[in-house]
Chains A and B, each alone.
Chain A
Amino acid sequence: MSHLLEIEQLSVTFGGLHALKDLDFHVDEGEIVGVIGPNGAGKTTFFNMISGMVTPTAGDIRFEGESLIGLDPNQVTQRGIARTFQNVRLFANMTILENVMVSQHCRAQQNIFGALFNTKGFKEEEAEIRRRGEEILGFFGSRLVGYRLEQPASVLSYANRRRLEIARAMATRPKLILLDEPVAGMNPMESRELTGLIGRLRSEWGFTIVMIEHDMDVVRDVSDRVVVLDHGETLAQGSFEDVSTNPAVIEAYLGRPLEDRAAADRPMEEQS
């Protein structure tokens, strides 16, 4: 069968250092996949490579059966893969609405002449872009709409910036969203809420999601499948339970073998 995203033997080296090595990976439509791994495991590099910001040394990335290798980031986004950044990178001086409007750039058709002569098509498209932007922002409750629409993104709180980043990714109308540590820096309440939102991204908007996350609660709650990276290699794959009890994974996180406890127990206790 063909997967939505299929990655084969992907490797990249930076000056002799293997950031990723022979990585195989796939995502099916409608899945939520969690990518975990200790710091420096190559997770963000993995995202950068899918989104075209880093060119792999070897291997292939296929999205809907077509290779993405050699595409510019904007072409990758055009094909339907959007991403967020670990260190939130909004257009801080643009308004919140503009942030989501500008991200629909690659889905808009009107050219320079439409803008110059203010044609009917141009007006309609602008209105549609605006409406869509507001709709997407509305997904996050009242935080990003109303008077906030016209405020620059720089006034937002940390958690709201993260939400706006997701909104911006949604605005590119992707099939697949790559979330890079979406709940980092959020308090437990906020991260629980966002976990729910991630679930709704799939159920209500139909996005497929790959998510890098350190917060194991979030990973456990929302992922269908978990992939563990370490030193640029896949350490384990499978359901959260399988992975979290995998001795190799525990070793990678804790540095030494442990009896079943530690990594596996903590999430168990909290499960209701």
Chain B
Amino acid sequence: MTAAVRAKGAGKTNVDRFLTVLRVVMIGFIAISLVAFIAQQIAPENPFAEWRHGDEGATRLSWAQYRGLLVTGISQGAMYGLIALGYSMVYGVLGFINFAHGEVFMVSAFTGFIVSTKFDAAGWWEGAAFFPAIIITVALCVIVSTSTAVIMERVAYRRLRGSPRLIPLITSIGVSFFIQEAVRLVFGPGAKGYPSNPDWLEERLPWLGIEVKKLVVIIIAAIAMAGLWYFVERTKTGKAMRAVAEDKEIASLMGIDVDKTIVKTFAVGGAMAGVAGILWGILFRSVINTTGFLPGIKAFTAAVVGGVGNLGGAMAGGVSLGGAEALGPLMILEPWGIPGVSQLRDAVAFTVLILVLLVKPTGLFGERLSSEERA
């Protein structure tokens, strides 16, 4: 043991050293920021804050403001988690990143927009009629997004089984662009507004101060996640999926229809993205053809943070990413006196991705991949 430890570092290259320095710097930076942040919360006029912010010192936000940000982050993260499930499952089964998965989400949000405006025109988007209307909307969104995912697999990916692994990834970039542009051309450019939510959704809960719609988003995401968990862990189809993820050849020898199982994987992933899409619509009430791009990338980040192939990890990763994105700029960047930190939200999300891959490439909760896909 001692020998192995002692000799470690013998083969360090310059790249290794650079990365070590980078890790240390990044972690150190974050640590100092956090300390400065806490100091600033306790005493806004501390020397560090004065140094970075000038004489007037740093501004202190109230805890209610932080709670608000955190809840927003978590509800958004819940959606990342739902989308991440699709990335994770497809990566587990086919070993490639379905770059176009974010578009499945966008298509669902668009469907939600179309259906909800129609309901709104008919006066169903308020009062008691809202409940049947929203249920129908969700059902339609899920159907459309599931079909999108399945068609995608059938048209583009099925013919690419067994080709070098970057080929399906490049194809999926093409698919992503195609869907984005098709939606723009067919439904017109510009953001589309959802009808106003019923009043009770916009209200805040009296004792927690949380907006009802955010709570609803979190709850629905949790229910969808639980359903998926049951499906994958307890049903026969779920077992088949796990078997195919482990080894396609052996699974097919065991009498599992691999193609069908892969289609089902895409369908389930698509359904989850569908749920996320309509939730997005209710939360932000706006959708545009590029809506899928950033959430898509962030959901992938969430999947990596949680460990690809690990479903619980995907959800946890999504929630942590949402939280990090909401609070990160304020807690890490703001103490340094950087102006306009909210502009850097997306940059923070990407930095999380890079940091996780640098420090713990298998994700916080561990990857679950077969050995061939790990290579």
Residues on A lying within 8 angstroms of B by beta carbon are 8-9, 52, 55-60, 67, 69-72, 75
Contacts and interface: CB of A to CB of B under 8 A. Distances in A.
Interface in B1-39: 1, 3-4, 7-13
B13 A72 contact: yes
Contact of A71 (B1, B3, B4, B11): B11
A58 B10 contact: no
Given A69-B3, A69-B10, 4 more contacts: A67-B10, A69-B8, A71-B11, A72-B13
A23 to B, nearest CB: 13
Residue of A8, A9, A55, A67 most packed against chain B (CB within 10 A): A67
Contacts of B3: 8-9, 58-60, 67, 69
A8 B1 CA distance: 11
B4 A59 contact: yes
A47 to B, nearest CB: 18
A70 B11 contact: yes
A71 B12 CA distance: 8
Nearest to A57: B4
Interface centre among A55, A57, A58 (most CB of B within 10 A): A58
Contacts of A58: 1, 3-4
Contacts of B8: 69-70
Interface string B87-121: 00000000000000000000000000000000000
B1 A70 contact: no
B11 to A, nearest CB: 4
Nearest to B11: A71
A9 B3 CA distance: 10
A92 to B, nearest CB: 13
Given A9-B3, A58-B3, A71 B13 contact: no
Most central of A9, A58, A59, A69 by chain B CB within 10 Å: A69
18 contacts: A9-B3, A52-B11, A55-B4, A56-B4, A57-B1, A57-B4, A58-B3, A59-B3, A60-B3, A60-B4, A67-B7, A69-B3, A69-B10, A70-B9, A70-B10, A70-B12, A71-B10, A75-B11
A52 B13 CA distance: 15
B10 to A, nearest CB: 5
Which of B8, B10, B13 counts the most chain A CB atoms within 10 A? B10
A52 B11 CA distance: 10
A80 to B, nearest CB: 15
Contacts of B9: 70
B7 to A, nearest CB: 4
A262 B7 CA distance: 45
Contacts of A75: 11
B13 A70 contact: no
Contacts of A9: 3
Nearest to B16: A72
B241 to A, nearest CB: 24
A72 B3 CA distance: 17
Contacts of A69: 3-4, 7-8, 10
Q: Which of B4, B7, B9, B11 gathers most chain A CB within 10 Å?
A: B4
- Top 9 A-B residue pairs of the complex, sorted by shortest distance between their CB atoms: A71-B11, A60-B3, A69-B7, A67-B7, A58-B1, A70-B8, A70-B10, A70-B11, A75-B11
A89 to B, nearest CB: 12
A31 B1 CA distance: 29
Nearest to A52: B11
A140 B202 CA distance: 80
Contacts of A72: 11, 13
Contacts of A57: 1, 4
A9 B2 CA distance: 11
A60 B13 CA distance: 21
A67 B1 CA distance: 14
Contacts of B1: 57-58
A55 B8 CA distance: 10
A72 B14 CA distance: 13
A59 B4 CA distance: 6
Contacts of A60: 3-4, 7
B141 to A, nearest CB: 43
A56 B2 CA distance: 12
A126 to B, nearest CB: 26
A52 B10 CA distance: 12
A23 B8 CA distance: 19
Interface centre among B8, B10, B11 (most CB of A within 10 A): B11
Nearest to A55: B4
A71 B13 CA distance: 10
A75 B9 CA distance: 12
A9 B12 CA distance: 24
A55 B1 CA distance: 12
Contacts of A55: 4
A185 to B, nearest CB: 21
A177 B4 CA distance: 23
B372 to A, nearest CB: 14
Nearest to A72: B11
A9 B13 CA distance: 27
A59 B7 CA distance: 10
A85 B13 CA distance: 26
A263 B10 CA distance: 44
Contacts of B13: 72
A8 B7 CA distance: 13
A60 B3 CA distance: 6
A55 B4 CA distance: 9
A250 B356 CA distance: 51
B18 to A, nearest CB: 15
A215 B251 CA distance: 34
Nearest to A9: B3
